[in-house]
Amino acid sequence: MKLNIDGLLVYFPYDYIYPEQYSYMLELKRTLDAKGHGVLEMPSGTGKTISLLSLIVAYQRAFPLEVTKLIYCSRTVPEIEKVVEELRKLMEFYAKETEEVNNFLALALSSRKNLCIHPEVSSLRFGKEVDGKCHSLTASYVRAQRHGNPNQPVCRFYEEFDAVGRQVPLPAGVYNLDDLKDLGRRKGWCPYYLARYSILHANIVVYSYHYLLDPKIADLVSKELAKKSVVVFDEAHNIDNVCIDSMSVNITRRTLDRCQNNVDTLQNTIQRIKETDAAKLREEYRRLVEGLKEANVARETDVYLANPVLPDEILKEAVPGSIRTAEHFVGFLRRFLEYLKSRLRVQHVVQESAPQFLKDIFDKVCIDRKPLRFCAERLQSLLRTLEITDISDFSAVTLISNFATLVSTYSQGFTIIIEPFEDRTPTIANPVLHFSCMDPSIAIKPVFQRFQSVIITSGTLSPVDIYPRILDFRPVTMASFTMTLARTCLCPLIVGRGNDQVALSSKFETREDFAVIRNYGNLLLEMSAVVPDGIVAFFTSYVYMENIVASWYEQGILENIQRNKLIFIETQDAAETSMALEKYQEACENGRGAILLSVARGKVSEGIDFVHHFGRAVIMFGVPYVYTQSRILKARLEYLRDQFQIRENDFLTFDAMRHAAQCVGRAIRGKTDYGLMIFADKRYARADKRGKLPRWIQEHINDGSLNLTVDEAVQLSKHFLRQMAQPFSQVDQLGLSLLTLEQLESPEMLKKIAQIAHQT
């Protein structure tokens, strides 16, 4: 259908539309008009992606000069591929309706592991190996060597791409990862480099967060993207953690040992080159004197996305003299390394700020702040000059130099914690230096500054006002949408008591309490008898799940559950869990029914959907608080309190509730879907917890279901499931939660739609 969104003609590739999709597009349009940022929470399964794409594509077509590019960031590879497929659907609809050739170029970009077609390289299992092997075949000096030595192996796909691939831009169309690979095979071009090259002139780019948020990757891939782009972060409820992760460094003794080896290798290579090709080193020296001028010019003219690791100031300066020659730099690295080794020889926990660390290093080994800041850049230059083939070997020394640059650049937002041993095993010495970022806004700041509109959206962003605070930006729109339903297809229940009236809670004091564990087991057992097909149960942590499973086993509860359904359990091994997941789906599919025991914050809870019969009930055992005894977390909470005035408890609850919402939201993936959401902890009934759940879940919790016993919950579930099992057709939804174009345009419906968006 063709829609009129506030004066903009939007092609929408379906015959019907959900009211909330219309509302969502209105808000989105407003954000783009204002050239500002937005935070939009829209329930999962209400067609968020297609709404986003329809509106932004329409906007791009209507105002080609205002918005030149859409950068769509999602979290996982399947999500990325799903987005591209939806986009393909939209583009096909455009082609059918307008009957003109579309000149849109849209493509997905992923790591080499998912795009490589080189027979040997692509058969490697880990992304890191693929990257390293690829580099050893495609680095510029490797290829240069080939001129002298034809036996030097290179990648023929890259050579072919380099020779002809850049001359003609990729023809318009929608390219998913597999399409790129097919094209690459047909033409003999490297799909990865083709995609990386093509994103510069593509209208729509779909890739992972890391390509924009992780400075180490963004610097390579996304640096030159147009300023007039709209950036969308989908599934963005965890975006702060992604930001923090990309800026944090951990150094162990093993890292330092490997670093030592790296430095030795560097030293030897320098020696060798000095004897054979001293001119090369002199050339490098000259370049360093000139400074990082090029980068500076580019950034000033706003061509490049700023790199938070490489602060503006150092670009204006030349590399300091003390580390300019290769030998001096290696000597410098050695000194730094020795210092770090000495710091790891501690007997007690040390926590200090970056300035304290800098002062200490100056006092002890006379290393100044300035050369430290250039460390990362200087190392890159050296590695290039020395023509190191396999850079993945040098990950340790790269890590150290990145740490050096970060610690000397940011005096705030980071903390250094040195722990001599793990808390759980105080007898085994395993010193770790954590350099933790506590401020997610540092990594995302360049994105907000550079791109005109950044949209942060997800099914669970409640409370929406906290994201602008922790990411430090001013959004023009913040809205939370509800889910219009013709039938209440979700049934959130808070089970606070067992049948014996014992309060159910995963809180620390009652964690080992047998009565609680038994009642939890009872709940699962009773549910397994009532709920058809699949049940997914989430625990607060892996250790907690292990303990509960063990005592359920001892008490024979699991065996009784097995009478009703098969049991599969998430393990810490991803491959094993994948297999369990597939078997779980198989068991749901063939009617036997199964239970998946899983962990909040685990991979399953974040990336796997349990549509329809794959998840008729989700049980959340306990409130998934993060492990609060961690020093890093404590430091972060302190920082949040001091800098953003967010109280510790508020943040912890927010964090726990967003994960709980993620878990229970896995079961509802659309309006034709239905599922139970069981919160098995009495603490969920409290207003401060309940209030932080997304609005579309919250509004279905009625006062009667706040503190249920197991039996009551079973009764309610039976009733709910019986109702949901009745036939449900399109007609039932029409006019209520599903609209035709005429229905949409009626004035009273427009009035109703205005209430769907909940502005904050």
3-class secondary-structure state, position 593: coil
Least Å from the CB of residue 616 to another protein = 18
Among 23, 229, 540, 733, binds another protein (CB under 8 A): 733
For residues 173 and 158, give the distance between their C-alpha atoms in angstroms, rounded to a whole number: 22
* 565 DSSP assignment: S
- Please choose, out of 439-447, 506-514, 601-609, 742-750, the segment that lies near another protein by the rule CB under 8 A: 601-609
Among 5, 358, 464, 594, binds another protein (CB under 8 A): 594
Nearer Cβ to another protein, position 229 or 564? 564
* Residue 603 sits in the site that holds another protein (CB under 8 A): yes
For residues 706 and 491, give the distance between their C-alpha atoms in angstroms, rounded to a whole number: 12
* Residue 451 sits in the site that holds another protein (CB under 8 A): no
* Residue 206 sits in the site that holds another protein (CB under 8 A): no
Contact between 244 and 438 under an 8 Å Cβ cutoff? The reply is: yes
- Helical packing angle, 140-148 and 127-138, nearest 10°: 40
- Would you call 341 exposed, middle or buried from its count of C-beta atoms within 10 A (0-12, 13-18, 19+)? middle
Among 14, 339, 448, 644, binds another protein (CB under 8 A): 14
Nearer Cβ to another protein, position 270 or 724? 724
* Residue 441 sits in the site that holds another protein (CB under 8 A): no
* Residue 512 sits in the site that holds another protein (CB under 8 A): no
- Would you call 482 exposed, middle or buried from its count of C-beta atoms within 10 A (0-12, 13-18, 19+)? buried
Cβ neighbours for 697, distance < 8 A, ≥ 6 positions apart? 490, 492, 661, 664, 665, 677
Query: Among residue numbers 56 through 75, which ones bind another protein (CB under 8 A)?
Result: 75
Query: Among residue numbers 545 through 584, which ones bind another protein (CB under 8 A)?
Result: 546-547, 549-550, 553, 556, 558-560, 562-569, 571-583
Q: Of 58, 22, 12, 40, whose CA–CA distance to 459 is shortest?
A: 40
- Please choose, out of 193-201, 300-308, 540-548, 697-705, the segment that lies near another protein by the rule CB under 8 A: 540-548
Among 72, 157, 197, 207, binds another protein (CB under 8 A): 207
* Residue 540 sits in the site that holds another protein (CB under 8 A): no
Query: Among residue numbers 80 through 109, which ones bind another protein (CB under 8 A)?
Result: 80-82, 85-86, 89
Q: Of 485, 544, 480, whose CA–CA distance to 680 is shortest?
A: 544
- Please choose, out of 9-17, 152-160, 337-345, 616-624, the segment that lies near another protein by the rule CB under 8 A: 9-17
Helix (H) or strand (E) holding 490: strand 490-497
* Residue 268 sits in the site that holds another protein (CB under 8 A): no
Least Å from the CB of residue 655 to another protein = 12
Q: How far is CA 751 from the centre of its chain?
A: 36
Least Å from the CB of residue 50 to another protein = 8
- Please choose, out of 135-143, 250-258, 294-302, 658-666, the segment that lies near another protein by the rule CB under 8 A: 250-258
Query: Among residue numbers 362 through 401, which ones bind another protein (CB under 8 A)?
Result: 395-396, 399
Nearer Cβ to another protein, position 181 or 695? 181
Give buried/exposed letters for 637-676 (b at 16+ CB in 10 A, else e): bebbeebeebeeebbbbbbbbbbbbbbbbbbbbbbebbbb
Contact between 612 and 583 under an 8 Å Cβ cutoff? The reply is: no
* 121 DSSP assignment: G
- Contact pattern from residue 671 through residue 710 relative to another protein, giving x for each residue in contact according to CB under 8 A and a dash for the rest: xx--------------------------------------
- Please choose, out of 2-10, 244-252, 375-383, 676-684, the segment that lies near another protein by the rule CB under 8 A: 244-252
Among 229, 457, 585, 705, binds another protein (CB under 8 A): 585
* 316 DSSP assignment: H
* Residue 128 sits in the site that holds another protein (CB under 8 A): yes
Least Å from the CB of residue 744 to another protein = 13
Nearer Cβ to another protein, position 440 or 492? 440
Query: Among residue numbers 734 through 753, which ones bind another protein (CB under 8 A)?
Result: 738
Least Å from the CB of residue 425 to another protein = 6
Nearer Cβ to another protein, position 31 or 246? 246
Query: Among residue numbers 461 through 500, which ones bind another protein (CB under 8 A)?
Result: none
Q: Would you put residue 621 in left (φ > 0), alpha (ψ -120 to 50) or beta?
A: beta
Least Å from the CB of residue 550 to another protein = 5
Q: Of 312, 282, 319, 309, whose CA–CA distance to 295 is shortest?
A: 312
* Residue 167 sits in the site that holds another protein (CB under 8 A): no
Residue 73 Cα distances to 173, 236, 290, 360, 499, angstroms: 19, 9, 37, 41, 46
Strand partners, 108: 206
According to DSSP, the β-strands at 453-458 and 617-621 are unpaired
3-class secondary-structure state, position 494: strand
Residue 755 Cα distances to 181, 486, 663, 759, angstroms: 46, 16, 27, 9
* Residue 607 sits in the site that holds another protein (CB under 8 A): yes
Query: Among residue numbers 144 through 163, which ones bind another protein (CB under 8 A)?
Result: none
Least Å from the CB of residue 148 to another protein = 33
Among 283, 586, 688, 745, binds another protein (CB under 8 A): 586
* Residue 208 sits in the site that holds another protein (CB under 8 A): yes
Least Å from the CB of residue 608 to another protein = 6
Among 200, 543, 725, 754, binds another protein (CB under 8 A): 543
Among 43, 47, 496, 622, binds another protein (CB under 8 A): 47
- Helical packing angle, 278-290 and 253-276, nearest 10°: 110
For residues 544 and 506, give the distance between their C-alpha atoms in angstroms, rounded to a whole number: 9
CA angle 253, 258, 263 (to 5 degrees): 120
Task: Report CA torsion sign: 668, 670, 671, 673.
Answer: negative
* Residue 76 sits in the site that holds another protein (CB under 8 A): yes
Total residues contacting another protein (rule CB under 8 A)?
108
CA dihedral 628, 633, 638, 641 (to 10 degrees): -80
Nearer Cβ to another protein, position 213 or 685? 213
Query: Among residue numbers 629 through 658, which ones bind another protein (CB under 8 A)?
Result: 630, 632
* Residue 608 sits in the site that holds another protein (CB under 8 A): yes
Contact between 405 and 307 under an 8 Å Cβ cutoff? The reply is: no
* Residue 16 sits in the site that holds another protein (CB under 8 A): yes
